[in-house]
Amino acid sequence: MIRVIGAGLAGSEAAYFLGSRGVEVELVDMKPQKFTPAHESENFGELVCSNSLKSDDIRGNACGLLKEEMRRLGSLTMAAAEISRVPAGGALAVDREKFSAYITQKLRACPHIHIICEEVTALPESGIVATGPLTGGALYKDIEQKLGASLHFYDASAPIVAADSIDYSRTFTGDRYGKGTGDYINCPLTKEEYEAFWEALTSAERANLHDFERGEIFEGCMPLEVMASRGKDTLRFGTFKPVGLTDGSGLRPYAVLQLRKENEAGTSYNLVGCQTNLKFGEQRRVFSLIPALARAEFERYGVMHRNTYLPSDRLLNADFSLKSNPDLFFAGQITGVEGYVESAMSGLFAGIHLWNRLRGLPPRVPEDTCVSGALARYISTENKDFQPMNANYGILRPSFPALRDKKEKKRRLGELALEEIERFKAAIYGEGGN
């Protein structure tokens, strides 16, 4: 019996991969007996910070390419995302409840997966630990004691507003550069409106500021107020950039906040890129300065929480097993991969590698010409400045002469990545297998 601890994206991927191949699995999760500060649903594979899985472009975006690699390997996360997809232009966004409900149903329906509700307080000798970036309590202390000090950073989520509380007369629809099917609601701001918003944002009261330092905030989920404090125009070149967007008159606004559907029914919208640690009352006051959100009803406020990750570059092999104990695997954001898709990928591969081990086969890690292989090698290669890593083209090894054309370079990298995944798939499953 293989024990998988944690039923988030990574644990769910690992358990489903093994269970669907006839391996008896105990999937252990403390929900619904106990919840972390960021979780509220009893379902598995719960998305917390956002309902977006980022770009779905396999030719020009590394995370889009990673999704395709996972699809070809039979990812549960990718299947759930397809079932629960909501319009979001070129991004893959999902209805959170349908997404996690699908994952939960697939896990519960598998006869080889036995679900146990309990809190694990100590590292097992074997199996897969996928307890996520919010790992805490006794298990955190046990990991710290047995493996060395854990690292951490701070992560934030964005507010969600009710669709019927948006002033649509102050918005226009459309995706950046006309890509997609016009799914985003754009809230334009004039120079005066933007500057008033910026002033309010940078002077607003933050929650629990004493609990963390600026240097511990992960760049990939930088709170809006921290980003704004870097300069008055920082948001206009980032989250609020108007480039590629024109209103009904054909003019480009001074700044734009984009809203994205939170669920399939379109009753809720997510404030794109507006992760924040402001106090709840301050969030309502500050975001209401955006004309389209003047009377917005907030269904969820943004929150910040501490995320934990291992010094994986010293502790883990590229197959996600411990260097000190190859029978014990780690998966998810605790390994130092950053993002929903990346987390799910690590779970999928931990499951694949453990399955290989059960069959007496030697480890086989994809080459770093594909995104999944490059991420696995990144987190397992010693680095004195080790930090969580997203999918990106910079970690891929180009096995061709330098190209000045960026689009052509990405296209070629994508081709090589998928060729490597097909080789890996054939080696693991056998020709034509899955």
Judge whether residue 60 has pLDDT over 50.
Answer: yes
Q: Are 72 and 124 in the same domain?
A: yes
Distances 110 to 20, 57, 128 between C-alpha atoms, Å? 7, 32, 18
Q: Output the DSSP codes for 337-392.
A: B-SHHHHHHHHHHHHHHHHHHHTTPPP-PPPTTSHHHHHHHHHTS--TT---B---
pLDDT digits (tens, 9 = 90+) for 289-318: 999 999 999 988 888 877 788 999 999 999
Query: How far out from the chain centre does Cα 32 lie?
Result: 22
Q: Which of 62-66, 213-217, 327-331 bottoms out in mean pLDDT, i.e. has the lowest?
A: 213-217
Q: Are 297 and 343 in the same domain?
A: no
User: What mean pLDDT is reported for the chain?
Assistant: 90
Is residue 40 within 8 A of residue 65, CB to CB? The reply is no
Indicate which CATH number applies to the domain containing 229.
Answer: 2.40.30.260
Q: Which of 283, 302, 321 is the last residue of a domain?
A: 302
Q: Are 291 and 325 in the same domain?
A: no
pLDDT computed for residue 191 by the predictor: 97
Q: Output the DSSP codes for 130-192.
A: ---TT--HHHHHHHHHHH-PPEEEEEE---EEEGGGS-GGG-EE--GGG-SSS--EEEEE-HH
Q: Are 191 and 144 in the same domain?
A: no
61 domain residue, yes or no: yes
Place of tokens 């930088």: 222
Burial-class residue 214 by CB neighbours within 10 Å (0-12, 13-18, 19+): exposed
Q: Are 291 and 371 in the same domain?
A: no
Compute the C-alpha angle 132/138/141, nearest 5°: 80
Q: Between residues 135 and 194, which one has the greater pLDDT?
A: 194
Q: Which of 242, 269, 302 is the last residue of a domain?
A: 302
Mean pLDDT of 225-230: 93
pLDDT computed for residue 389 by the predictor: 87
Q: Between residues 344 and 60, which one has the greater pLDDT?
A: 344
pLDDT digits (tens, 9 = 90+) for 165-176: 999 999 999 988
> For residue 420, what is the enclosing H or E element?
helix 406-429
pLDDT digits (tens, 9 = 90+) for 175-209: 888 777 788 999 999 999 999 999 999 999 988 64
pLDDT confidence bin for 282, thresholds 50/70/90: very high
Q: Are 147 and 12 in the same domain?
A: yes
The whole-model pTM stands at 0.78
Q: Are 142 and 173 in the same domain?
A: no
276 domain residue, yes or no: yes
Q: Are 187 and 126 in the same domain?
A: no
Q: Are 312 and 404 in the same domain?
A: yes
Mean pLDDT of 71-92: 94
The separation between the first and the last C-alpha atoms of the chain, rounded to the nearest angstrom, is: 22
> 259 pairs with which residues across the strands?
185, 271
pLDDT computed for residue 217 by the predictor: 59
pLDDT digits (tens, 9 = 90+) for 143-162: 989 988 667 777 778 899 99
284 domain residue, yes or no: yes
173 domain residue, yes or no: yes
The number of C-alpha atoms within 13 Å of 5 and in the hemisphere containing its C-beta is: 20
Indicate which CATH number applies to the domain containing 8.
Answer: 3.50.50.60
434 domain residue, yes or no: no
Which of 426-429's residues contact partners 24+ apart within 8 Å by CB, and which partners? Answer: 427/364, 428/352, 428/356, 428/364
State which residues form the domain around 170.
Answer: 160-302
Q: Are 291 and 334 in the same domain?
A: no
The residue among 49, 9, 52 whose CA lies nearest residue 27 is 9
Q: Are 138 and 42 in the same domain?
A: yes
Q: Pairing between strand 160-162 and 2-5?
A: unpaired
Q: Which of 167-171, 265-269, 330-334 bottoms out in mean pLDDT, i.e. has the lowest?
A: 265-269
Mean pLDDT of 230-249: 93
Q: Between residues 308 and 352, which one has the greater pLDDT?
A: 352
